Amino acid sequence: MTKPLNVGMIGYGFMGRTHSNAYRKAPNFFDLPYKPVLKTICGLEEKEAKAFADRWGYESYVTDWRKVIDDKSIDVVDICVPNNYHAEIAIAAAEAGKMIICEKPLARTAAEAEPMVQAVEKAGVANLVSFNYRRVPAVTLAKKLIDEGRLGKIFHYRANFLQDWTISSQVPQGGMATWRLDVKAAGSGVTGDLLAHCIDTAMWHNGPISAVCGMTETFVKQRMHAETGKVEPVGIDDACTFFCRFDNGSLGNFESTRYARGHKALYTFEINGENASIAWDLHDLHRLSYFDHRDDSIVRGWRSVHVTDGDMPYMGKWWVPGLQIGYEHSFVHQVADFLENAAKGQPTSPTFREALATQKVCDAVLASAKAGKWETIKY
Ligand SMILES: NC(=O)c1ccc[n+]([C@@H]2O[C@H](COP(=O)([O-])OP(=O)(O)OC[C@H]3O[C@@H](n4cnc5c(N)ncnc54)[C@H](O)[C@@H]3O)[C@@H](O)[C@H]2O)c1
């Protein structure tokens, strides 16, 4: 039987929209044990919160997140606010016994994330961190191919996440649209914002990372702060490149920047194994490139697999073979998996504990860049 599940969404920005859309769509396409009810939206500006509630069909709106936590009718708290608020909200939500979906990165640092993990585990509440790219069908298919052993021993994992939106020194730091450039709100720059995605996917595909050696740069050293109006030093990393070793003996090579002119959100990865290789590109997210050395030499080459058949991950729930889906659907899959598992009392990956591991890698990358030496990671 389908039970109503009351959702309290905190944040009505970019992620507030993707998550609200996911709660609305998921029960139309997946057979879920719960019917999400958009109960309350919370954001800083009352006028905007009201407009969001009207547009998306929330029953009520508030401007203080504590009201969402105190509301006994709310079953799941969904955290879509800047990183500096994740810990306080998540710990309060866990103590109130709510299920929690929290946007990535889990927190600004591993030290800030640890008590979040303890709080959800102590309360025994369902928890998930929104590393949504795992649930792009082609990325999920890559995991299946690796787990089936098709690649054989893996030698290399390389990933990039390239953007170009902060090249101008006129872009301010802090405030509503540009909190990502303010180290106090974001915790770090591209490492926590973009490489965290690559690291999460990489460790899911290829196992734990044991040691890292990183290099960061802040190209624009001072920016006007949108809240104070003063020109202040920039504390985030604008670009980060790191090498790593995985526990399975493979080598990793990761790069992220917001200074790659011409690239808006170019997340790519390539994995090379002894028998086969896989490559993926967010700009062409419904395709998976696959090369298998065991093919006859006269037809051997890179295949571009159109990930739309019903036997491919998640695709049986959508349209018909040949018709692709896109970015928003990764969030629909996330909600569907979370609700299905929560009803069975099972965890959904990546949990807060798994996201803490990603946080530890991010911290180690930044520490390595600062110290100019390799850092090993203790989980
Ligand atoms: N999974 C992904 O691919 C992905 C993509 C973008 C952002 N994110 C993450 O999602 C989170 C939100 O990012 P965004 O791009 O949606 O930000 P945004 O700036 O678009 O929206 C932030 C929202 O938070 C609200 N807010 C800020 N402080 C608040 C407070 N104290 N109480 C209540 N509401 C508050 C604002 O009103 C706004 O609605 C961040 O942690 C970010 O890293 C994840």
Q: How far is the CA of 378 from the centre of ligand 1 (A)?
A: 29
Task: Determine which residue's CA is closest to atom 23 belonging to ligand 1.
Answer: 11
Q: Give the pLDDT score at 2.
A: 87
Give CA–CA dist 115/31, Å, rounded.
Answer: 34
Question: What does the pLDDT look like over 90-126, one tens digit per residue?
Answer: 999 999 999 999 999 999 999 999 999 999 999 999 9
Ligand 1 mean position, distance from CA 343 (Å): 27
* Residue 151 CA, ligand 1 centroid: distance in Å: 38
CA 167, 168, 171, 173 dihedral sign is positive
Q: Is 134-349+355-376 in CATH node 3.30.360.10?
A: yes
Ligand 1 nearest-atom number relative to CA 133: 3
pLDDT in tens, 186-198: 999 999 999 999 9
pTM of the model: 0.98
Tens-place pLDDT, residues 266-293: 999 999 999 999 999 999 999 999 999 9
Residue pair 289/303 in contact (Cβ under 8 Å)? The answer is yes
- What CATH number labels 3-133? 3.40.50.720
| 78 backbone dihedrals φ, ψ, rounded to 5° | -115, 115
Residue 1 has pLDDT above 80, yes or no: no
Residue 8 Cβ contacting ligand 1 at under 6 Å: no
Domain-by-domain residue ranges, the chain? 3-133, 134-349+355-376
Q: Is 104 in the pocket of ligand 1 (CB under 6 A)?
A: yes
CA nearest to 35, candidates 26, 44, 22? 26
Going by alpha carbons, the residue nearest to atom 5 of ligand 1 is 15
Which class for 260: exposed (0-12), middle (13-18), buried (19 or more C-beta within 10 A)? middle
Whether 350 is in the pocket of ligand 1, judged by its Cβ within 6 Å, is no
The conformation of residue 124, written as its DSSP 8-state character, comes to T
Residues 8-35, mean pLDDT to the nearest whole number: 98
* Residue where the block lists tokens 């030698």: 155
93, 100 contact by CB (below 8 A): yes
Q: Tell me the per-residue pLDDT of 150-176, one tens digit each, with 9 for 90 and over.
A: 999 999 999 999 999 999 999 999 998
266 lines ligand 1 (CB under 6 A): no
Pairing of strands 34-42, 60-62: parallel
